[in-house]
Structure 1
Amino acid sequence: MSSLSIVLNFQAGLGVLANMFLLVFYTFIILCHRPKPMDMMICHQAFIHIVLLITGTEDWFGDISESLNIDKDFQCKTNFYITRVMRGLSISITCLLSVFQAVTISHITSLLAKFKYKLKRNMISAFLFIWSFNLLFNCYHIFYAGAFTNVSATNQMKVTKFCSLFPMNYIIKALILTTAICRDVFLVGLMLATSAYMVIILFRHKRQHKHLHSLSHLRASPEKRATQTILLLVVSFVVMYWVDFIISSTAILLRMYDPVILSVQKFVMNVYPTITPLIQISSDNRIINMMKHIQSMCHQIFKKR
């Protein structure tokens, strides 16, 4: 196993474990307590990132497919389809988190504040729409992806070690690319717009707190912390998205397959789903308090011994 493969497997393993922790924690919150809309979104995001990391790590997905004796062609189609669906869901949920937080911290007299209760009430509908759109939009991967055979004979473009993309009609290709670019530009633009809005609110909030009582500051800190977390997630996503876009666009334009470039691209793709749960774990007071409680219990047990 090469050093790049070891790095990718370690990265994916760390990401899967962190996201599984988040998934279990927020599932417990949703089932046993009164969940916040943000809890549902983070739980949703954790599940998406687990699947994305597993399908995006070729060694893992390949081993699972071989153990189940799955046909190579079906394996490639499934891998391409699931990975693209999960990537679309990841950007959609991140955008939804950003929009929801911007609406949450809006002043009661602002226009965005009017959408606060509508967003809470229609959260399930938003999830269903996001899933339906991404499942339907990425269906073309089932027809235009398959097991790699011979590039020179079939004019396939090799994109992974075992998989390739088949040639498609220029009109279909143009429609798919246009729709994908419009979706991504809209979602990334919306994330940047809501992030800028949240930065402005935080700046105003900081100025106002110079003249307010300290107790008000303590009450506002959870919302401030949540906003800072979302801003950090958005910045991380946008940076990794554009780095990935540049690498993948270069590879497509040059119509080349290079194992090193592919490994670097996978590393960049997996950075966001790996660091997201770590950021959320370190910023959620409920998780921090639970960890402190467990640590205190363990300390008492060892002290008695």
Structure 2
Amino acid sequence: MNLAASNFIFLMTLGLPHAIFIFYWKFTYTDSDCRADLFLARSSRGLAICLTCLLSCFQCVTLASSSVRWLYFKIRLQKYLTPVIVFLSLLSLTSSLNAALYPVAYYNATDNHSFSLGYCFVLYPTRFLFQAIGFITFSRDLVFVILMALASTYILLILHRHRKQMKGKRSSERKQEATAEQQASKTIVTLVVLYVFFFGLDNSIWFYQIAVGEAFKEITDIRHYLSFCFPTIFPVIILLFNQKLQNKIGPCVKTQLSHLQAVSSIQ
């Protein structure tokens, strides 16, 4: 739920204004609007990375060995899950404070330590500050992406080992052994693979921009498009893999369709 909320905020604060601007719909932003919008966008994006990493690490610990050490770690992680989420939220907010300092609504020129969103501009006082903030953000994202990739790789190894153990059993027994933890693991691995792909490309472009010191609008548009892909695909993946949601949503959809058919027949 927290991951879905952070993805939704990101799409509403950066995806929606960007789409409106691309399609030439005119709207007016003030400096305060730009700062609030970009601060929420950066914070929600950072929180989405942190929570995806937490999700993969939590599932990795859940499937890990049942030794005393791992059992203790599982209990502690479940007990302090809410404080961990709060800590990650605060980390995302504090590490994105720079997004509330430099955005402006109007700017006539461009230089090598600023970048344009079209409807807002982010002006850093110096090129050093532009590159320093960029490298710090890049390093933060890279740490979490590496952690989630390692956790997902370990989950895949566990699933592969379990699959080899299940080869000698009948298909009916295999279905019984297809536990909720395994289904959740497949969902999380799928999410992480997509996340690493899209945000890996996004961060690679961002690294190029801060290394070169130039943020061309066309390259920025491509980077933003890549960053919008995962929040857009995220709910589709959840619906495809979550049988409980399908069982709840399916009857509602059928009821609505039958109601529409009844109304249309009456008309």
Per-residue displacement from partner, 1:220-262 (whole Å, max 9, x unpaired)?
332222111100100101111121123334444262433x434
Q: Which residue identity does 1:208 align to in structure 2?
A: Q
Per-residue displacement from partner, 1:162-187 (whole Å, max 9, x unpaired)?
32222335665565345323322221
Q: What is the TM-score with the length of structure 1 in the denominator?
A: 0.73
- Map of 1:1-305 to 2, 5 A cutoff? 43-57=1-15, 58-59=17-18, 72-109=30-67, 111-151=69-109, 157-168=114-125, 173=130, 176-212=133-169, 214-215=172-173, 217-252=175-210, 253=212, 255-258=214-217, 260-294=218-252
Question: 1:165 aligns to what SS in structure 2?
Answer: strand
Q: Which residue identity does 2:64 align to in structure 1?
A: S
Q: Which residue identity does 2:120 align to in structure 1?
A: C
Q: 1:237 to 1:103 in 2, by over 3 A?
A: same
Q: What is the TM-score with the length of structure 2 in the denominator?
A: 0.82
Contact 1:85 1:135 in 2 (8 A): yes
The alpha carbon displacement at 1:300 in A equals 8.2
Contact 1:145 1:165 in 2 (8 A): yes
Gaps of 5+ in 1: 1-42
Output the aligned Cα RMSD.
Answer: 3.0
Q: 1:230 to 1:215 in 2, by over 3 A?
A: same
Gaps of 5+ in 2: none
Q: 1:293 to 1:204 in 2, by over 3 A?
A: same
How many residues in Structure 1 have an aligned counterpart in Structure 2? 256
The alpha carbon displacement at 1:296 in A equals 6.1
What is the identity percentage for the equivalent residue pairs of Structure 1 and Structure 2? Answer: 25
